Amino acid sequence: MSVQTPPRLLDLAGQSLLRDQALAVAALEHLPAELFPPLFMQAFFGRHRETLTAMVHAWPFACLPLGGLMQMPQRGTLQATFDGLDILLAQKVRPRRWKLQVLDLRNTNQCFWSMWSGARTQVHPRTRPAAARGSGMRQPAAPLEVLVDLCLSSRIRDRFFPDLIRWAKQREGLLHLCCQTLKIFEVPIKAIKALALVRLDCIQEVEVNCPWSLSALGVFAPYLGQMSNVRRLSLSHIHMPASEAEEWELRISQFTSQFLWLPHLRKLYLESPAFLTGRLDQMLRCLQTCLETLSITNCVLTELDLMHLSLCPNLGQLKDLDLSGVCLTGFNPEPLRALLEDVAATLQHLDLVYCGIRDSHVKAIVPVLSRCRQLRALSLSGNLLSLAALEELLRHTAGLRSLSHELYPPPLESYSAQGVLEPGRLAQVRDALTGILRDLGQPRTIWLSTSPCPRCGQKVFYDVEPILFSCNNPA
């Protein structure tokens, strides 16, 4: 027979108070600040909307971390909160009891609420009620800060973000809509006008995944330039319609020039940036900081683009480099070698998946890879390499103590003359690689990725276990 923990007297008192809405609202004027959070939680989960509205109006802390109570705000609860805030925002001067300065709608600050859900009743130092002022002091109302991780998407069924934008627009000037994370998924470019309501200099992370045209990107560009504190930028699937050919150069310049105003950018992800082919130097010249992460994937770059990458002074401290899906087959391997040479001291992750890399590229870069002492992950799957090239890779990287994730393609010797992966050939190759690892004498695990086939692109349904070598006395 299980013994249930009896409810606390505080919880029972809150339940009793909430049964009488008029009494609950009247009691807020004299309720100690320490009792607000537990009562608020009971009103929130019990859907006492009128009481919630009154509690927002009387909230005794500088911040109301509402987002910490829910994965996604419920429409009714959010409206009750807005109603309480409207009472405050309608007043031109602050009442003495008004302490609320920030409404936090992010899914954070759960610690604030968990503190009040237990036996402890002390006030958290970051949410301590503001010091009482003299009885006659009334100050002009400052704009309320609303913190939110903003997601603009036509795929989201919940009406939270549209409701929030609509509410903020109706009260423009009375509040500051601040977000650190901005995500834009599959929305028409006209929806971007909502960013005019946002404090753009608060944004630190931006992810844009929209099938926009270059002209749409040109509309977004001025907003991006105002995000002066952005640290991470991800942009995907911008296309170049032939109907806009006359505007291509202008729109590309509009976008690349915005990097002049991003002095804190550290991580840059560009997925399928076809518009940068042959023009990569325009963006690189505008970089104001040394990047930690550069990902340019699934696009066509010219050999001159790769040369500009190797010469860019803002890439010398890269920790993560991803050029997956950029075909390097016909390129001189020297620019790639030079780029890796520049980042050898800091590089931790290198992804060259499906780059059309051949043995000649491997021969050029392995001496540099052997000096990448911080390297943790190396991915070269999807390329056409011989067993001899893989052996050279394994031997040159044997001294990299931090390298723990290695993903390689099955060597050419694993395939038939028709380009079909043959299990028997692959088994022989695995034995050969195991022998190489044994000769090197260090614990090591490597993976061979076989799906899809790098030659024909067809799916190969063949389960491959990692090639593992371990020893009791590593060198």
The Cα–Cα gap between 459 and 10 comes to 62
List, by residue range, all CATH 3.80.10 domains of the chain. Answer: 327-475
pLDDT digits (tens, 9 = 90+) for 303-344: 999 999 999 999 999 999 999 999 999 999 999 999 999 999
Alpha-carbon gap, residue 166 to 168, rounded angstroms: 5
Q: Which CATH class is domain 327-475?
A: alpha beta
Q: What is the DSSP letter of 451?
A: S
Amino acid of residue 191: A
Q: Two tokens at 271?
A: 């997925």
Q: Of all residues in the chain, what percent carry a pLDDT higher than 90? A: 50
Whole-number Å distance between alpha carbons of 219 and 204: 20
Q: Which two tokens stand for residue 88?
A: 């405050």
What is the three-class DSSP state of 469?
strand
- Residue pLDDT, tens place only, 240-277: 988 888 899 999 999 999 999 999 999 999 999 999 99
CB-CB contact of 322 with 315 (8 Å): no
Which residues is 208 bridged to in the sheet? 184, 235
3-state SS class at 294? strand
pLDDT band at 189 (very low <50, low <70, confident <90, very high): confident
- 218, pLDDT greater than 80: yes
User: What's the confidence (pLDDT) of residue 348?
Assistant: 98
Residue 127 has pLDDT above 50, yes or no: no
370 pLDDT exceeds 80? yes
46-67 pLDDT, tens digit per residue, is: 778 888 888 888 888 888 888 8
Query: What is the model's pLDDT at position 16?
Result: 55
**How long, in residues, is the chain?**
475
pLDDT tier for residue 126 given thresholds of 50, 70 and 90: very low
**Residue 162 in contact with residue 184, Cβ under 8 Å?**
no
